[in-house]
Structure 1
Amino acid sequence: MSEWKALTDESRARWDQVAGFWDDYMGEHSNRFHREIVRPATERLLEVKEGDTVLDIACGNGNFSRRLADFGAQVVALDYSAVMIDRAKQRSTSYGDRIDYQVADATDYEALLAFGAERFDRAVANMALMDIADIRPLTSALSRLLKRDGVFVFSIPHPCFQSPNARKIHETEEINGQIVTRNSVQVTKYLTPESFETIGIRNQPVPHLLFHRPLAYYMNLFLSAGFVMDGWEEPSFELDADRASRFDWYELPPAVIFRFRKR
C-alpha cells in the first residue's frame, strides 16, 4: 500500500468517526467561521449563476451544496466519508434532484473523471484541500472536468498563520494610561509540507489529519496544470469589542481563498 493510500484511508476512517459530531455542531447554517470568513469570499469569487453545473468537492454535510442549489445551480456533491454523505442526504430531502450526493475519493483520478469531461461550469472546495492527503489527482482531474473558462474556488486555513505548531498569542499592556491589546501568531514552521493531527472542533471524538502545504505548493501545482489564478482573498473578522479580551482573527487572516480558471 502506498504512503498516500494509507494516509487517505486513515483520514477517511477518522472523518467517519467525527462526521456525526461535526454535522450536529455545524447544523443547517454552519459556524461563525464559515458564515463570516469562508462563505462570503467564496461566493464572491465563485460567481454562481442560475443554471450553472457545480461540483462541490468534500461537501461534508451539504451546507454549501444547498446554498449553491438555492442560487439556481445544479450540484454534484462528493465526499469520501459515507457517513457525511448520509447526513447530507438527510438534510437535503427538499432539494429533490437539484443535488446529486456521491461517495467519492478526491484522490482517485479515474473516479473523478467518471463525473464527466467538461461537464462543470464551476467547482468548489470549502476548507477541504488541507484534509486531502494528495491533491495532485484532483488538480489533474479538474483540468478535464471543468469547461473552458470554468473556475475552481477553494479555501484553506492560511498556511502562513496556521502552520504546524503555530502559537496564538493575546497580549494586554497599559500604555500611557490606556489598556492596549494585541493578537499575534508565532510561526516556527512553514516551508516543508507535512501531515499532523488536529482538532477542528473542541471535544470532537478523535483528531483528524491535516496536510500542511505552503502557498507556493498550491500555486505551482495549479499553474502547471494549465490554470491561471485570477482571484484571491484573505478575509478576517471585523473587530468585535465583546471578543477583544481574547485572541481572534482581526488583522491576521485565518484563511485564504483562491480562484483558478481553466484556460
Structure 2
Amino acid sequence: MSRHRRPAKQTPPNPVKVWDDIASFWDESITPGGNKYFHRLQAPCLDRLLGKHLHHGARCLDLATGNGLVARWLLDKGVGWVLATDASTQMMEIAERNFSAGGYDDSQYLCLQTDVTVLYDMSDLQEYGGKRQLFDIIVINMALMDIERLDVLAEALPRLLNSNGVFVATVLHPVFFTCNPSKSISISFDPATGEQVIKRSKVITEYLDVAPAQGIACPNQPVKQTYYHRPIHELLSIFLKDGDMVLDAIEEPAFNKGDFDDKRVESSTNFTQLPALFAFRLRRRVP
C-alpha cells in the first residue's frame, strides 16, 4: 500500500543569518559610498527630514546600519557622535572596516551589535544615549521591510529619544514595491506626431493582507531575504498606537527623468510617477 507524506513545512530562513551570508555581497553591490537609490532618493530625503537636527552637538543612533553608510553620512553632515548598530555580526565588521577606511576618528562613533526585535538589546541602548541626554536623532534607513516585528522598536523609541529628538525611517514603498505588484509597459504612437509613446504602470492586486515573501535587494544576490509587507496605516500605527509619539512629516520620493535606465526598460528608476520609497518622521509627544 502506498503512503502519502504531508509536504514539509517551509521554514523561513533566519533573517540575521541571511544578512550574515550576504553581507560582503551587499557591501560590494551598494558600495561603501552608496548606490543610485541612496544618492538620488534616500540621502536627499534624510537631509530634508532631519534638517535642523543635523548639528555638531547631535547624538545619533543608526539602527540596522548595514555597512555603516548612513552612520558615516550623519558624521559627514556634522553631527557630534553616532552609535551604529546592526543585528548581523558580519555587517558590523564591515561597518567598522568602512569607518576605519574612511578615516573617521573612533571618538566619533561606536559600533554595537543590536537586534531591534530583542527587548534586552533595545533596553541596553539607553545607557549609550546617556541618562540625561538621550539621542537627538534615531534613523533606520531601508530596513523596516526586512524586520519581522516592530513592536519592540516602537516601544523603545520614547525612552531613547531626547525631548526634542526625532525618529526618521525610510522603507520600500508598501503600495508600489512590497505588495508584489506587476509592472506593465505599453507602447503606442502619438497620431499627431508619429512619435512613440511609452507608458509605465504597476498593477496591484493585493495590499491589505500580503504574506512575507522571499526576494533580493541587489541583482544576482546569492541568498534571498524575507520581505515583510505592511500597509501604510499598519506601518504607522505600530509607532503611534500608545500615544507617546506623533507623526511629524511624510515623504514619497520618486526617481525623475534624469535617472532613466535605457538598458533596462523595466528598471524601477524609469517609473517616475510612482514613488519608490515611503519615509516618515516621528517625534515625542510634548505633554
TM-score, with structure 1 as normaliser: 0.93
5+ unaligned residues in a row in structure 1: which ranges?
Answer: 1-5
Give SS of 1:204's match: coil
Distance in 2 of aligned mates of 1:142 and 1:131: 19
Larger gyration radius, structure 1 or structure 2: 2
Matches within 5 A, 1:110-129: 110-116=120-126, 119-129=134-144
Q: How does 1:1-263 map to 2 (within 5 A)?
A: 10-47=14-51, 48-73=54-79, 74-93=81-100, 94-95=103-104, 96-116=106-126, 119-176=134-191, 177-225=194-242, 226-240=244-258, 243=261, 246-247=265-266, 248-263=270-285
SS for the counterpart of 1:190 is: coil
1:241 to 1:258, Cα distance in 2 relative to 1, 3 A: closer
Distance (Å, rounded) in 2 between the aligned partners of 1:137 and 1:39: 26
TM-score (norm. length: structure 2) = 0.85
2: CA distance, partners of 1:16 / 1:86: 10
* Aligned residue identity for 2:56: E
Counterparts of 1:136 and 1:24, CA distance in 2: 32
Q: Percentage identity across aligned positions?
A: 33
Q: CA RMSD in A?
A: 1.7
2:142 and 2:271 map into 1 onto residues whose CA distance is 16
Q: Which amino acid aligns with 1:53?
A: R
Query: Unmatched 5+ residue regions in structure 2?
Result: 1-10
Cα separation, 2, equivalents of 1:125 and 1:194: 23
TM-aligned CA deviation for residue 113 of structure 1:
1.6
Asked if the contact 1:163/1:187 (under 8 Å) is kept, the reply is no
Alpha-carbon distance, 1:170 to partner: 2.1
Secondary structure class of the residue paired with 1:97? coil
Q: Secondary structure at the match of 1:217?
A: helix
CA–CA distance in structure 1, aligned partners of residues 77 and 257 of structure 2? 30
Give the Cα–Cα distance (whole angstroms) in 2 for the partners of residues 201 and 152 of structure 1: 26
Deviation track 1:140-193 (CA, whole Å, cap 9, x = no partner) reads 011110011311100111101113321122221112012111111111111115
Q: Which runs of 4+ in 1 moved over 4 A?
A: none
Match of residue 3 from structure 1: none
Kindly provide the amino acid, as one letter, of the partner of residue 86 in structure 1. E
Structure 1 169/121 Cα, relative in aligned 2: closer, same or farther at 3 Å? same
Distance 1:127 1:110 in 2: 23
**8 Å contact 2:201–2:271 — kept in the other structure?**
no
Deviation for aligned residue 1:242: 5.3
1: CA distance, partners of 2:63 / 2:259: 36
> What amino acid is aligned across from residue 246 of structure 1 in structure 2?
V
Task: Write the distance in 2 (CA, Å) between the matches of 1:75 and 1:242.
Answer: 35
Q: 1:193 to 1:46 in 2, by over 3 A?
A: farther
Residue 29 of structure 1: how far off its partner (Å): 1.5
